[in-house]
Amino acid sequence: MDRKAPIGVFDSGVGGLTVAREIMRQIPNEKIIYFGDTARVPYGSKSKETVTRFSKQIVRFLQTFDVKTIVVACNTASAYALDELEKEIDIPIIGVVKPGAKVAAKTTQNGRIGVIATEATIGSQIYSKYIKELNKDVTIYGKPCPLFVPLVEEGLWQDPVTDEIAKRYLTELVDIDIDTLILGCTHYPLIRSTLGKIMGDGVTLVNPAYETARELKELLIEKELLNEEAPKLGENQYQFFVSDGAEKFKRFANSIIKYGILSAKTINIEQY
Ligand code: DGL
């Protein structure tokens, strides 16, 4: 496998850009092929079968670029489809759930961890499963926060409406005295300051995007796949593909990634 091959990153839409952004920061020599399934978002309210079928199509699409590894930059797809995807391909593939769970298990002092995520991720109990494997003495409190995704996508990152919804969702977690909160959905790091204000200084917010990029780097080093050469001038280092609404995606992406996204291309994912 070629060290210079790109990394495939996918999400149900724009949320995975928070993961792509961390990969760009932490391993800046790497090339990325990003796919956002903007035609079929959200995944968080869909069934395991559907999310798995979609994820398999995306992996097939990413493999047409001879990617050296794949990052499932979506909590819901990591929760529902990662096991199945691992069986289908022979390149390394990592999700965002395990890295986030690992840090949370290490971080908590009082053994009380909160997880906020989509309904699917909370329902799958995947964070609890991984955290308990590492530390069986912790208690995990899951809280689905489905309204955060549309609020973030509407750009209401700092807005009284988001403050109000966040208060409603998070008050019960404040009341049960958790000391660690996993932001278990790709969109949530974008409203981190709102969430932090409500939870207070005593609660550590865990961003799985950051931890995933760190684990990805370790994995690439271990497999001798880390790209040690900086990209050449004019090389198309980051390529973005979506299943619908390329212009809207591009605007959103440019607002959170400061590495110059030139374009996003629409493809027909159903053909894969
Ligand atoms: N990317 C999804 C996740 O991290 C959130 C958006 C969706 O529901 O598709 O779970």
Q: Do domains 7-95+210-271 and 97-208 have the same CATH topology?
A: yes
Rounded Cα distance between 34 and 8, Å, is 6
- Please report how the helices 97-107 and 75-88 are oriented relative to each other, as an axis angle in degrees rounded to 10: 120
Neighbours of 136 (CB within 10 A): 8
In 45-138, at which residue ranges do the beta strands (DSSP E only) sit? 69-72, 93-95, 112-117
- Note if 145 is an active site residue: no
Q: What is the mean pLDDT of residues 132-142?
A: 96
- What are the residue ranges spanned by the domains of the chain? 7-95+210-271, 97-208
Question: CB–CB of 51/83 below 8 Å?
Answer: no
Q: How far apart are the first and last CA of the chain?
A: 23
| pLDDT at position 212 over 90 | yes
Ligand 1 pocket, 12 CB below 6 A?
yes
pLDDT of 235: 81
For residue range 164-173, what is the model confidence (pLDDT) as tens digits? 999 999 999 9
Q: Which are the contacts of 168, defined by CB distance < 8 A and separation ≥ 6? A: none
Res 121: pLDDT: 97
CB neighbours of residue 83 within 10 Å:
11
Which ligand 1 atom sits nearest the alpha carbon of residue 118?
10
Ligand 1 atom closest to Cα of 45? 8
Tokens for 79, please give them: 């929760």
Q: What is the pTM of this model?
A: 0.95
How many CA atoms lie less than 13 Å away from 160 in the CB half-sphere? 0
pLDDT band at 232; cut points 50, 70, 90 = confident
Average pLDDT over residues 2-24: 96
In whole angstroms, give the CA distance from residue 271 to residue 130. 34
**CA-to-CA distance for 53 and 69, rounded, in angstroms?**
19
User: What residue's CA is closest to ligand 1, atom 6?
Assistant: 42
Matching residue, tokens 């009341």: 175
52 pocket-lining for ligand 1 (C-beta < 6 Å): no
30: left (phi over 0), alpha (psi -120 to 50) or beta: beta
Q: Is 122's pLDDT higher than 80? A: yes
Catalytic pick from 185, 199, 205, 216? Answer: 185
Name the pLDDT band for 260 (thresholds 50, 70, 90).
Answer: low
Decide: 246 and 265 in contact? Cβ < 8 Å: yes
CATH of domain 7-95+210-271: 3.40.50.1860
Fold of 97-208: Rossmann fold (3.40.50)
The pLDDT of residue 263: 83
Check 14, 19, 74, 152 and give the catalytic one. 74
Share of residues in the chain with pLDDT > 70 (%): 99
Residue pLDDT, tens place only, 69-92: 999 999 999 999 999 999 999 999
Atom of ligand 1 nearest to the CA of 185: 4
